[in-house]
């Protein structure tokens, strides 16, 4: 694993847990965790149970005894590490977003295609696809349970930047993060809409806003927000993104991504409306899927609250007896399960880097639209 921040913690837990919960076709050994700060990475190693800590990712990527490289660094280093790992014949799991720019994402997707010819797999960590309620929603939509999709709405809303004193952490710096709320959490919204509907966003119109333009420079990394000092620095990314997308079928989807939705901690709401019914989901209540069946008798109309903790629901086979809840971290274990299954089966895990490249192009189109006063902009897929 390269990196040891918040996503390092979630992925470490998943590598430890997945083999203990699911019958994986291959064993998992948590070999090496890598970071530039020797003391900090050693602390992470000891806490999360990796066998070794190291400070040079290139040395680790070159080692014969490593099969998989898991990249949990900021987006600015994804391309360099992923390409080196793929060229060295390592399977790669890369945290979202794929990269910070379309150009980087293109090179990464090309490297993944070339590696695939040699049986090397790559996967992008859009973990929410593996929240059981959302996987179940995708299955219901694909099975035609809500009929033909006619409208979609997706909003990812957090509030950890409402305080103007919240420091200038890496997520607020364009050179490290690529974009702000747009890429960090809007990317999840775009991915989920495409995952749930099986359609791609082809055109967008959008606006971006930076609400607090200067913040205390970070003196210490801690959690998402970090700790700041007296010196101020410029915020170089968006705080809020509001955009509309047109899907392959012509259906319109509305999107919102914000870190300024006061009181909303990690609200990711998605609603897909069809001719025969609808599904609705909120990450703040992640074991629940709301399902509306328009064909039910008039006297029984209304969204039903489905508790997605039962036998037969996706990924539930490994966990607790029916009715016992799952949380944020479980999706990461499901991601490891699906990656290891795909490696053993010689199949491609999803989403792959090509899908990540398309996602990057959607984000880029939103930025280009916003720069032209929200003009409709095509998502330039080759």
Asked if residue 354 lies in contact with residue 109, where contact means CB atoms within 8 angstroms, the answer is: yes
Supply the minimum distance, in Å, between the C-beta of residue 87 and ligand SOE.
27
Which is nearer to ligand SOE, 173 or 377 (by Cβ)?
173
- How far separated are the first and last CA of the chain, in Å rounded? 32
Collapsed DSSP state (helix, strand, coil) of residue 245:
strand
Query: What residues contact residue 298 under an 8 Å CB cut-off, 6+ apart?
Result: none
Residue 185 found at the interface with ligand SOE (CB under 6 A): yes
What is the number of the residue whose Cβ is closest to ligand SOE? 184
Q: What letter does residue 185 receive in the DSSP assignment? A: I
Question: Which phi and psi (to 5°) does residue 323 adopt?
Answer: 90, -5
Which is nearer to ligand SOE, 181 or 379 (by Cβ)?
181
Supply the minimum distance, in Å, between the C-beta of residue 116 and ligand SOE.
26
Which is nearer to ligand SOE, 183 or 228 (by Cβ)?
183
Asked if residue 270 lies in contact with residue 189, where contact means CB atoms within 8 angstroms, the answer is: yes
Asked if residue 238 lies in contact with residue 180, where contact means CB atoms within 8 angstroms, the answer is: yes
Which is nearer to ligand SOE, 224 or 232 (by Cβ)?
224
CA-CA distance, 120 to 257, in Å (whole number)? 34
Supply the minimum distance, in Å, between the C-beta of residue 283 and ligand SOE.
8
Residue 158 found at the interface with ligand SOE (CB under 6 A): yes
Tokens of 32: 């090496």
Q: Which of 42, 70, 106, 184 binds ligand SOE (CB under 6 A)?
A: 184
Supply the minimum distance, in Å, between the C-beta of residue 301 and ligand SOE.
34
CA-CA distance, 176 to 100, in Å (whole number)? 8
Residue 239 found at the interface with ligand SOE (CB under 6 A): no
x/- map, 246-275, ligand SOE, by CB under 6 A: --------------------x---------
Chain residues binding ligand SOE by CB under 6 A are: 6, 158, 184-185, 224, 266
């Amino acid at each position: 694993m390269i990196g040891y921040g918040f996503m390092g913690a979630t992925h470490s837990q998943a590598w430890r847990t997945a083999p203990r919960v699911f019958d994986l076709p291959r064993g998992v050994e948590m070999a090496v965790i890598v970071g530039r700060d020797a003391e900090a990475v050693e602390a992470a190693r000891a806490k999360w149970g990796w066998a070794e800590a190291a400070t040079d990712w290139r040395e680790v990527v070159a080692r014969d005894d490593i099969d998989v490289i898991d990249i949990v660094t900021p987006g600015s280093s994804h391309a360099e590490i992923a390409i080196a790992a793929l060229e060295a014949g390592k399977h790669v799991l890369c945290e979202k977003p794929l990269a910070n720019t379309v150009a980087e994402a293109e090179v990464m997707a090309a490297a993944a295609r070339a590696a695939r010819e040699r049986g090397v797999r790559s996967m992008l960590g859009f973990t929410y696809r593996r929240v059981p309620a959302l996987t179940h929603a995708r299955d219901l939509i694909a099975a035609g349970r809500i009929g033909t999709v006619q409208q979609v709405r997706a909003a990812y809303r957090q509030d950890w930047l409402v305080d103007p004193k919240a420091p200038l952490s890496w997520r607020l710096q364009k050179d490290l993060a690529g974009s702000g709320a747009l890429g960090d959490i809007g990317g999840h919204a775009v991915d989920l809409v495409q995952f749930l509907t099986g359609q791609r966003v082809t055109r967008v119109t959008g606006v971006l806003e930076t609400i607090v333009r200067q913040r205390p420079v970070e003196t210490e990394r801690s959690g998402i927000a970090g700790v700041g000092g007296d010196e101020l620095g410029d915020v170089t990314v968006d705080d809020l993104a509001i955009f509309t997308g047109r899907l392959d079928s012509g259906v319109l989807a509305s999107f919102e991504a914000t870190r300024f939705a006061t009181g909303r901690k990690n609200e990711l709401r998605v609603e897909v409306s069809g001719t025969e019914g609808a599904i609705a989901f909120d990450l703040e209540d992640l074991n629940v899927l709301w399902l509306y069946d328009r064909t039910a008798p008039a006297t029984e109309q209304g969204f039903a609250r489905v508790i997605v903790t039962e036998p037969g629901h996706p990924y539930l086979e490994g966990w607790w007896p029916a009715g016992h809840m799952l949380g944020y971290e479980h999706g990461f274990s499901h991601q490891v399960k699906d990656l290891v299954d795909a490696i053993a089966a010689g199949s491609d895990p999803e989403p792959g880097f090509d899908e990540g490249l398309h996602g990057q192009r959607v984000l880029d189109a939103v930025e280009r639209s916003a720069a032209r006063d929200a003009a409709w902009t095509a998502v330039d897929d080759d």
